[in-house]
Amino acid sequence: MAQTTPPDLDRATGSDAVTAPAVRSTRRRTDPIYYLFLFPALILFSLAITLPAVLGFLYSLTNSIGFGDWDFIGLRNYIAVFRDEGIVSAYTFTLGFSLVTVIAANLIAFALALGLTSRIRLQTALRTIYVIPMVISGIIIAFVFKFLFSNSLPVIGQALGIDVLSTSILANENLAWLGIVIVTAWSTIPGAMLIYVAGLVTVPEELYEAASIDGTSAVGRLWHITLPLVSGYIVINTILGFKNYLNAYDIVVGLTDGGPGTATRTVAMSIFKGFDGGDYGYQMANAAVFFIISIIIALVQLRLTRGKATFGS
């Protein structure tokens, strides 16, 4: 009696016998038009950013005064930078001023954004008014506030009998930094506020309605719903703000020009003033140190905020 192969076994052996068609691997070609846009930008970036940075680092290892002959002196400029009390003071002021300003500006910007995204009248008009500082030059803002701090505010202080405000705070070595913080925050709050507004409008209203039904207070809704969903925008404003404040220059020059004495001199001012004094190589070393510190701060910020930069949908 002939043996028959079970249908299942027959199908199994048949499937093994059939060779699957070879999958043809095709490599995706890059459209040449992409290179047409990439190379000009890459060349401009290299010429405007990369090349000057490399040359600056090389000059930081010399005794160059910005022109003429120079000699290679190794790390002597870097050693001198760390021993220079004036530069150390500039770093201390710049970092402290940046930290205070980024906190103050973000708190005020977030509060304004909350108000402008709530059910209030004239939202559009108020948003327009609040962004006016963004279109005004920093040096103009500094001169206007300098007049207010030096003339208007002392008059008010004298009328109220407040000795601290009876003279310009910009001439007070202990209070000049406060004037710089106020003006810098005033000029940068609108940009941060717009970012917060963009984040707050993405938070679904259904979450607030559900929380209200559950009896959650306004503070609870802010803490458990709003802040977690806009944490990504907080990260953006913190990083961008700190980066901009570290490079503060025009407002400080317009308000105090680094004074009284050198109490409010920033790192950027030290570098530029050093160029005028013929300390080109020395200030290039200062700039290189400042660049490294800025990179370290940015990496620390990214590390601390990793996993928190989530955006509401």
In a domain, 34, yes or no: no
Contacts of 204 (CB under 8 A, 6+ apart): 312
CATH number of the domain at 179, please: 1.10.3720.10
In a domain, 231, yes or no: yes
In a domain, 219, yes or no: yes
Between residues 125 and 218, which one has the greater pLDDT? Answer: 218
pLDDT beyond 60 at 278: yes
- At 250-267, the pLDDT tens digits run 999 999 999 898 899 999
pLDDT of the residue at 96: 94
CB burial of residue 269 (10 Å; 0-12, 13-18, 19+): buried
pLDDT beyond 50 at 13: no
pLDDT of the residue at 91: 94
pLDDT beyond 50 at 63: yes
Between residues 29 and 251, which one has the greater pLDDT? Answer: 251
In a domain, 218, yes or no: yes
**Nearest by Cα to 247 from 276, 267, 262:** 267
pLDDT of the residue at 313: 43
Whole-prediction pTM? 0.80
Domain housing 248: 76-304
In a domain, 45, yes or no: no
- pLDDT, average across residues 167-189: 93
- pLDDT, average across residues 37-66: 90
Task: Quote the number of domains for the chain.
Answer: 1
In a domain, 10, yes or no: no
pLDDT beyond 70 at 310: no
In a domain, 2, yes or no: no
Of 11-25, 176-190, 294-308, which gets the smallest average pLDDT? 11-25
- At 218-240, the pLDDT tens digits run 889 889 899 999 988 998 899 88
| Torsion angles phi and psi, residue 72, rounded to 5 | -75, 125
Long-range contacts of 158-163 (CB under 8 A, 24+ apart): none
pLDDT of the residue at 79: 94
